[in-house]
Amino acid sequence: MVLPNILLTGTPGVGKTTLGKELASRSGLKYVNVGDLAREGQLFDGYDEEYDCPILDEDRVVDELENQMKEGGVIVDYHGCDFFPERWFDVVFVLRTDNNILYKRLETRGYNEKKLKENIQCEIFQVLYEEATSSYKEEIVHQLPSNKPEELEDNINQILIWIEQWIKDHNS
Protein backbone atom coordinates (compact mmCIF):
# COMPACT_ATOMS: atom_id res chain seq x y z
CA MET A 1 0.00 0.00 0.00
CA VAL A 2 1.24 3.46 -0.92
CA LEU A 3 1.13 5.97 1.96
CA PRO A 4 1.49 9.77 1.83
CA ASN A 5 4.35 11.87 3.19
CA ILE A 6 3.27 14.91 5.19
CA LEU A 7 5.26 17.97 6.23
CA LEU A 8 4.26 19.92 9.35
CA THR A 9 5.99 23.28 9.43
CA GLY A 10 5.65 26.64 11.15
CA THR A 11 7.37 28.90 13.64
CA PRO A 12 8.78 27.19 16.76
CA GLY A 13 6.03 26.90 19.39
CA VAL A 14 3.02 26.59 17.06
CA GLY A 15 2.33 22.96 18.00
CA LYS A 16 3.97 20.89 15.24
CA THR A 17 5.30 18.24 17.60
CA THR A 18 2.05 17.84 19.54
CA LEU A 19 0.09 17.54 16.27
CA GLY A 20 2.66 15.25 14.62
CA LYS A 21 2.88 12.75 17.47
CA GLU A 22 -0.89 12.56 17.90
CA LEU A 23 -1.41 12.24 14.14
CA ALA A 24 1.14 9.42 13.94
CA SER A 25 -0.48 7.51 16.78
CA ARG A 26 -3.95 7.78 15.19
CA SER A 27 -2.94 7.24 11.55
CA GLY A 28 -0.20 4.63 11.87
CA LEU A 29 2.18 6.83 9.86
CA LYS A 30 5.74 7.26 11.09
CA TYR A 31 6.62 10.51 12.91
CA VAL A 32 10.02 12.17 12.45
CA ASN A 33 11.02 15.25 14.43
CA VAL A 34 13.97 16.68 12.47
CA GLY A 35 15.41 18.38 15.56
CA ASP A 36 15.50 15.05 17.43
CA LEU A 37 16.88 13.24 14.38
CA ALA A 38 19.68 15.81 14.10
CA ARG A 39 20.52 15.53 17.83
CA GLU A 40 20.58 11.72 17.74
CA GLY A 41 22.72 11.57 14.60
CA GLN A 42 24.80 14.67 15.39
CA LEU A 43 23.71 16.17 12.04
CA PHE A 44 25.07 19.63 12.83
CA ASP A 45 27.47 21.97 11.15
CA GLY A 46 28.65 24.16 14.02
CA TYR A 47 26.94 26.28 16.66
CA ASP A 48 25.17 29.64 16.41
CA GLU A 49 26.25 31.67 19.45
CA GLU A 50 23.83 34.49 18.67
CA TYR A 51 20.75 32.22 18.75
CA ASP A 52 22.25 29.77 21.23
CA CYS A 53 21.52 26.71 19.09
CA PRO A 54 23.30 24.19 16.84
CA ILE A 55 23.35 24.78 13.07
CA LEU A 56 21.57 22.02 11.15
CA ASP A 57 23.56 20.24 8.43
CA GLU A 58 20.71 20.19 5.90
CA ASP A 59 22.46 17.93 3.38
CA ARG A 60 23.11 15.27 6.00
CA VAL A 61 19.49 15.48 7.21
CA VAL A 62 18.25 14.94 3.64
CA ASP A 63 20.64 11.98 3.20
CA GLU A 64 19.47 10.51 6.52
CA LEU A 65 15.77 10.75 5.58
CA GLU A 66 15.95 9.81 1.88
CA ASN A 67 15.15 6.08 2.17
CA GLN A 68 12.28 6.56 4.63
CA MET A 69 10.76 9.24 2.40
CA LYS A 70 10.94 6.93 -0.65
CA GLU A 71 9.02 4.26 1.31
CA GLY A 72 6.31 6.78 2.22
CA GLY A 73 4.03 7.12 5.20
CA VAL A 74 6.18 9.68 7.02
CA ILE A 75 5.12 12.79 8.95
CA VAL A 76 8.06 15.22 9.08
CA ASP A 77 8.09 17.98 11.69
CA TYR A 78 10.45 20.95 11.23
CA HIS A 79 10.24 24.75 11.24
CA GLY A 80 12.17 25.14 7.98
CA CYS A 81 11.20 23.49 4.72
CA ASP A 82 13.07 25.00 1.77
CA PHE A 83 15.90 22.42 1.88
CA PHE A 84 13.70 19.31 1.62
CA PRO A 85 13.27 17.93 -1.91
CA GLU A 86 9.88 18.96 -3.37
CA ARG A 87 9.21 15.35 -4.48
CA TRP A 88 9.14 14.18 -0.85
CA PHE A 89 5.79 15.61 0.23
CA ASP A 90 2.22 15.01 -0.84
CA VAL A 91 0.88 17.75 1.44
CA VAL A 92 2.34 20.54 3.58
CA PHE A 93 0.56 21.95 6.65
CA VAL A 94 1.78 25.28 8.01
CA LEU A 95 0.60 25.79 11.59
CA ARG A 96 -0.21 29.37 12.61
CA THR A 97 -0.58 30.74 16.12
CA ASP A 98 -1.77 34.09 17.47
CA ASN A 99 1.28 36.16 18.53
CA ASN A 100 0.22 36.63 22.16
CA ILE A 101 -0.25 32.88 22.61
CA LEU A 102 2.98 32.12 20.73
CA TYR A 103 4.93 34.63 22.84
CA LYS A 104 3.81 32.90 26.06
CA ARG A 105 4.66 29.44 24.68
CA LEU A 106 8.18 30.53 23.66
CA GLU A 107 8.72 32.37 26.93
CA THR A 108 8.01 29.18 28.89
CA ARG A 109 10.67 27.45 26.74
CA GLY A 110 13.19 29.96 28.07
CA TYR A 111 13.96 31.63 24.72
CA ASN A 112 16.20 34.70 25.05
CA GLU A 113 14.75 38.10 24.06
CA LYS A 114 16.36 38.15 20.58
CA LYS A 115 15.14 34.63 19.75
CA LEU A 116 11.65 35.49 21.10
CA LYS A 117 11.36 38.67 19.00
CA GLU A 118 12.65 37.04 15.81
CA ASN A 119 10.25 34.10 16.11
CA ILE A 120 7.28 36.41 16.75
CA GLN A 121 8.27 38.54 13.72
CA CYS A 122 8.63 35.36 11.69
CA GLU A 123 5.01 34.53 12.57
CA ILE A 124 3.72 38.07 11.95
CA PHE A 125 5.30 38.23 8.49
CA GLN A 126 4.20 34.67 7.56
CA VAL A 127 7.81 33.78 6.75
CA LEU A 128 7.32 30.02 6.97
CA TYR A 129 4.06 30.06 5.03
CA GLU A 130 5.80 31.98 2.24
CA GLU A 131 8.78 29.60 2.40
CA ALA A 132 6.36 26.68 2.00
CA THR A 133 4.45 28.24 -0.93
CA SER A 134 7.69 29.07 -2.72
CA SER A 135 9.17 25.60 -2.09
CA TYR A 136 6.13 23.45 -2.99
CA LYS A 137 3.17 23.57 -5.35
CA GLU A 138 0.77 26.06 -3.86
CA GLU A 139 -2.18 23.64 -4.04
CA ILE A 140 -0.53 21.22 -1.57
CA VAL A 141 0.24 23.92 1.05
CA HIS A 142 -2.42 24.57 3.70
CA GLN A 143 -2.49 26.84 6.76
CA LEU A 144 -4.01 25.53 9.99
CA PRO A 145 -4.83 27.57 13.13
CA SER A 146 -3.08 26.25 16.24
CA ASN A 147 -4.18 28.29 19.24
CA LYS A 148 -6.52 26.14 21.33
CA PRO A 149 -6.90 22.42 22.18
CA GLU A 150 -10.14 22.31 20.11
CA GLU A 151 -8.21 23.47 17.04
CA LEU A 152 -5.66 20.71 17.61
CA GLU A 153 -8.49 18.16 17.58
CA ASP A 154 -10.04 19.75 14.44
CA ASN A 155 -6.65 19.72 12.69
CA ILE A 156 -6.07 16.06 13.54
CA ASN A 157 -9.52 15.09 12.25
CA GLN A 158 -9.10 17.17 9.08
CA ILE A 159 -5.71 15.62 8.31
CA LEU A 160 -6.96 12.08 9.07
CA ILE A 161 -9.75 12.60 6.52
CA TRP A 162 -7.17 13.91 4.02
CA ILE A 163 -4.93 10.84 4.62
CA GLU A 164 -7.86 8.44 4.17
CA GLN A 165 -8.85 10.10 0.87
CA TRP A 166 -5.23 10.16 -0.36
CA ILE A 167 -4.84 6.44 0.36
CA LYS A 168 -8.10 5.67 -1.52
CA ASP A 169 -7.01 7.78 -4.51
CA HIS A 170 -3.52 6.25 -4.72
CA ASN A 171 -4.20 2.57 -3.99
CA SER A 172 -7.05 1.64 -6.30
Q: Note the pLDDT tens digit of each residue in 31-65.
A: 999 999 999 999 999 999 888 889 999 999 999 99
Q: How far apart are CA 10 and CA 127, in angstroms?
A: 9
> Is residue 119 within 8 Å of 36, Cβ to Cβ?
no
Closest CA to 28 of 7, 45, 4, 48: 4
Q: How confident is the model at residue 120 (pLDDT cuts 50, 70, 90)?
A: very high
pLDDT at 2: 97
Q: How far apart are CA 89 and CA 144, in angstroms?
A: 17
Q: How far apart are CA 78 and CA 9, in angstroms?
A: 5
